[in-house]
Structure 1
Amino acid sequence: MRNLIYPVIISEYHDDGHYYVATSPNIPGMVTQGDTFSDAAYWAEDAIATMLDGQASYPEVQDPRSWDLKSNDRLVYITVDLDKWLHKNSKTIKKTITVPEYLSVMAKEQNINVSQLTTKALKAELGIQ
């Protein structure tokens, strides 16, 4: 399980309406927003996971005590469960597998979806719900 926790700055704005913007010096270029504070925190998790997806290593967590926060800023720690996020946002890919012919015939006769069965078996083997 890969849980990451990053500090995020959520800033409240009242210029073109009322909204919140989330950024993190830990993740350069990460910016998202929401209509409410909770929305901004929710979308910050999604933005962090999106930006870290496929990376072999993750940015080291900075100590936010050195960050210069303004009066409209709040520091929030965002937990990202990358395994859950990747599972939720995973696309299906085509894989070719090899099975004994008799099993293929029997599965077809019994209307067993081999792709679905393989997915279930892999999830069980990997301990994924």
Structure 2
Amino acid sequence: MLVYPAIFIEDGSYIVVSFPDIPEAMTQGESIEHAYQMAEEVLGLVLEDKKDFPKASTISTVQNDYPDATIALIGIDLAAYRRKYHSKTVRKNVTVPEWLSDMAESERINFSQTLTEALKLKLGV
């Protein structure tokens, strides 16, 4: 889980959300609930392909830098984000020993499901 402080500023009929530690992550919402939801989504979108993540500022530092803004912590579970937004399946061609394939087919084992389960276990997701 990654957690970053976000700045919420009312701007007319919208609430603008930005992240001091991740300048490219900006969004807005029509209500505080919508702005919070959009903040989670934009955080996932910006961070999903990164390997190194910026260090999060403390809430007190951000509050001092933006005294008129509302500060909230936004958390993102990138594994859950990827499952939600990138759940399209892809075809993979795999090779297994013939005897193992025969045994699995006789037991009516779904190869795709078994490979998916094994990969999730191996990757800890």
TM-score range, shorter chain: 0.7 to 0.9
**Partner residue in 2 for 1:6:** 4
Give the TM-score of the pair, scaled to structure 2.
0.80
- Greater alpha carbon shift after TM alignment, 51-60 vs 98-107: 98-107
Note the residue ranges of structure 2 that are not aligned, 5 or more in a row.
none
User: Percent identity, aligned pairs only?
Assistant: 36
Give the counterpart letter for 2:90 in structure 1. Answer: I
Give the counterpart letter for 1:89 in structure 2. Answer: Y
The correspondence of residues 1-129 of structure 1 with structure 2, limited to 5 A, is: 3-14=1-12, 18-62=13-57, 63-70=61-68, 73-90=69-86, 91-108=88-105, 111-128=108-125
Note the residue ranges of structure 1 that are not aligned, 5 or more in a row.
none
Superposed CA offset, 1:36-78 (max 9, x none): 10111111111111101111101111231442343xx311111
- Structure 1 distance, partners of 2:107, 2:15, is 54
Shift of 1:110: 5.3
Would you tell me which structure has more helix in proportion to its own residues? 2
- Structure 2 distance, partners of 1:59, 1:93, is 31
**Aligned-residue CA RMSD in angstroms?**
2.1
Shift of 1:100: 1.0
Superposed CA offset, 1:63-112 (max 9, x none): 31442343xx3111111111221222233333332211133344445553
- Structure 2 distance, partners of 1:94, 1:55, is 25
State the SS of the aligned residue for 1:97.
Answer: coil
Size of the aligned set, in residue pairs, is 121
Instruction: Answer yes or no: is the 8 Å Cα contact 2:15–2:31 preserved in 1.
Output: yes
